[in-house]
Amino acid sequence: MWDILVKATESNEMISIYTDISDQEHFNAGFLEQITEEYFLMKHVTAEGIVDGHIVRRLADVYRVDQHSQYEQKLETLYKIQNQQHYDLLLSPVTEDENLLVEVLKTAIIAERLVSIKISDEQRESTDFIYGFVTSVTDDIVTIAKVSNYGEKDGTVTIFLRDIEAVDCDRLDEITIKLMYQHVHRR
């Protein structure tokens, strides 16, 4: 699987990646920006071929990669004819000594991007989504100033990086919540 993902990153081709074997109808499509032994960073694309921010997922969760199907070809065509363009989330490639997840979270601090973080507890079969602004990150933990769906400040949360299943940045949900936050806090 590693070789396939590395080649997709180098060739900048549209791919679909499946990471939740319990929900085989859900996948993420887009262009890989970076890949490390632990994570991948994808420039996400909607089913309509529209730019949809960036996502980070654990490489260990990947169980299927689709390439060159009619679906990926359709998305790439829609992306091109609608003149869509992603920006690179990270300014430089992550080195072997760096952690891709940590670097994405640091970038979110610097750029003041609202993120969503998915944490799961398999023993309790629960999933939680946290929306907010990253305020600090170390090699082990991240602290987030939470924001409600209505744009209100909602306290802070600190979690272990090892418990993070997914991070989304600048997707429609995050953009909507950030717009509400900006609206609420301009009063």
Domain ranges for the chain = 1-89, 94-187
- Topology, domain 94-187: SH3 type barrels. (2.30.30)
State the average pLDDT for the chain: 93
53-70 confidence digits (pLDDT tens) = 999 999 999 999 999 999
Determine if residue 181 is left, alpha or beta; phi over 0 gives left, psi from -120 to 50 gives alpha, anything else beta. Answer: alpha
Given a cut of 70, whether residue 46 has pLDDT beyond it is yes
**What is the pLDDT at residue 124?**
56
Residues 41 and 98 sit within 8 Å (Cβ to Cβ): no
Find out whether 32 and 8 touch, Cβ atoms under 8 Å. Answer: yes
pLDDT at 120: 79
pLDDT in tens, 58-113: 999 999 999 999 999 999 999 999 999 999 999 888 988 899 999 999 999 999 99
Helix (H), strand (E) at residue 11: helix 2-11
Query: Whole-prediction pTM value?
Result: 0.93
| Pairwise CA distance, residues 82 & 30, whole Å | 15
Comparing 4-18, 55-69, 88-102, 120-134, the range with the smallest average pLDDT is 120-134
pLDDT category, 123, cuts 50, 70, 90? Answer: low
- What single letter denotes the amino acid at residue 82? Q
Q: Residue 121: its pLDDT value, please?
A: 66
**CATH classification number, 1-89, choose in 3.30.420.60, 2.130.10.10, 3.90.105.10, 2.30.30.100:** 2.30.30.100
